[in-house]
Chains A and B, each alone.
Chain A
């Protein structure tokens, strides 16, 4: 187990390098000049521009820039933005908001998705299952931002149950609507997966065995069916938590929450490569860590893949 974990962490290094390289290259290739973007209409004097370009090593060849950046990252230095603020500090300052949003959404999704999925699976082919299907298809089909804007207008503006945007109300009130929007969209996929998996398991021979042991339906489902049905679901859940951090970026922008999503968007607009790469690297890292956690917990639920 320990050896496996160490090996897996070792494997994360080349993945991280590859991912940052691609992201770095993409920001490098972004059209437009970061310096002129800084000041908008009024051009800076040539000398100032040259000075800034030199300070930020913008004239170095791409590989030198990237090499410098990676060396810094391994020392814990994610560079500075154009205002001289350390990127890591910027990210860490905004990370709690994003984490709160993503986690709230994830937990909501977990409840909604599992509830609908298990309900649909147990009542497969009956009316309740069809309603669940309609619900999930609806939320899977409509783009997330449409739901987000609709919910914002209706619950935030018309009904006034929550602030339409901003973080003034704090957790949970400022987070409940954006998290719910994210959760509903993601819960649809989870519900479908759970339902299918449960329907499969309910047909399994070992459930017939359980019945032949004279167990109550409740015990058959809780003791024998659900845990098996959860095996594929756990993988999905772990990976989707990482995905939620990515999804939070869009929702934060819509609901004006000061998370890393907003930071990402403004950094892209300002062509601040270091910030974009820093955030992306962080997201990749989170994704890898969750992936590892999923693989490690997998054995807990399925003894056949225990390491």
Chain B
């Protein structure tokens, strides 16, 4: 792909990524040709339901897939131009932590139960920067302060189970931010938290992202989270990105029937007293992805063309892409409400 030299090189660029899982029933295609770009300082939301491939995408970037059963079947993941899929284990370890890091969904299980939180944060400084035990502890306290854990200095020796859910997620974030990564991936960072705490955690992530000019990928199934935090959104369905563009535009005027359906299935004041509209049917079997558009069997716009060929993700207007043959026909008003 030719890169015009006036455009800054993106922080992260994913090209035609394909990931498969070997299962007893056969090969499941979890990611089926994903292209993504993320610039420094940008916040990209990856929106999709469970099984759409959003978490697998994140894990593939971070090198956290269990191989086997997973297998990267093709593609490139370029971080500052360096292909993460072809580098050696040592180089990857050098990048993991200092250049990219990840916030996990369930902080309680993401933290090691037998080590004090301070040691778990400090470990990054010890391993990657060669800090002494004492210096690492001081750095850990500083990080805990930064993510606003009250009385950090006195809690540095506490264990994960001694913290509340929100505080634990702050510790996970402190760990992810510790070495000042350029890329932060947050995989459903607020799903396990209650609503008020969710808002605080999102605010913290957003603020840290802006302060450090990080590229942030926020993976979620929650449209309101995407709307609140992200600049760009990529909607995933059955292992592909089916629509992409500036968050506000994509959510207010979707150009893919699936996005339309997602946007509509959110409870709102206007829908009070009505049945929540849902997309009929269920996602395709990843072991046996149908020919043509994966969404065709659930789509009210589908015709013969849709079941014959896979619609490519193509530009439909400035900065917006959709993978739908009927992107121009997606109605702007409720289509599923009856």
Contacts and interface: CB of A to CB of B under 8 A. Distances in A.
A57 interface: no
B109 A212 contact: no
Interface string A275-307: 000000000000000000000000001111000
A205 interface: yes
A304 B161 contact: yes
Contact of A214 (B94, B106, B111): B94
Contact of A212 (B102, B113, B159): B102
Interface string A198-221: 000000111011111111100100
A213 B109 contact: no
Given A211-B64, A212-B64, A212-B102, A206 B112 contact: yes
Contact of A219 (B112, B115, B127, B172): B127
A275 B113 CA distance: 48
Contacts of A302: 113-114
A301 B113 CA distance: 10
Contact of B109 (A205, A215, A219, A303): A205
Nearest to A215: B127
Interface string B89-122: 0001111111001101010011111111000000
Nearest to A217: B89
Nearest to B114: A227
Contact of A209 (B94, B112, B116): B112
A214 B159 contact: no
**In the complex, which range does the number of interface residues on chain B fall in?**
20 to 34
A208, A214, A231, A302: residue with the most chain B Cβ atoms closer than 10 Å: A214
A204 B114 contact: no
Contacts of B159: 303-304
Interface string A12-25: 00000000000000
Nearest to A227: B114
Contacts, number: 71
B98 A206 contact: no
B112 A228 contact: yes
A224 interface: yes
Contacts of A215: 93, 123, 127
B109 A206 contact: yes
Interface string A175-206: 00000000000000000000000000000111
B256 to A, nearest CB: 32
Given A205-B104, A304-B161, A213 B62 contact: no
Given A213-B127, A227-B114, A304-B161, A208 B96 contact: no
B156 to A, nearest CB: 14
B124 interface: yes
A210 B159 CA distance: 16
Contacts of B101: 212-213
A301 B115 CA distance: 10
B94 to A, nearest CB: 7
Contacts of B94: 214
Contact of B106 (A205, A216, A303): A205
B128 interface: yes
Given A214-B97, A227-B114, A303 B123 contact: no
B181 to A, nearest CB: 10
B101, B111, B113: residue with the most chain A Cβ atoms closer than 10 Å: B113
A214 B123 contact: no
B43 interface: no
A303 B114 contact: yes
Contacts of A205: 104, 106, 109-110
Contacts of A216: 93
Contact of B104 (A209, A231, A304): A209
Contact of A206 (B96, B113, B128): B113
Given A208-B64, A211-B64, A214-B93, A303 B113 contact: yes
Nearest to A205: B109
B112 A210 contact: yes
Contact of B97 (A208, A213, A228, A301): A213
Contact of B95 (A214, A228, A303): A214
Contact of A304 (B96, B102, B109, B113): B113
B236 interface: no
Nearest to B108: A205
B175 interface: yes
6 contacts: A206-B109, A212-B101, A213-B101, A215-B123, A228-B114, A302-B114
Give 3 closest A-B pairs by Cβ, nearest first: A214-B96, A214-B97, A205-B109
Interface of A: 204-206, 208-216, 219, 223-224, 227-228, 231, 301-304
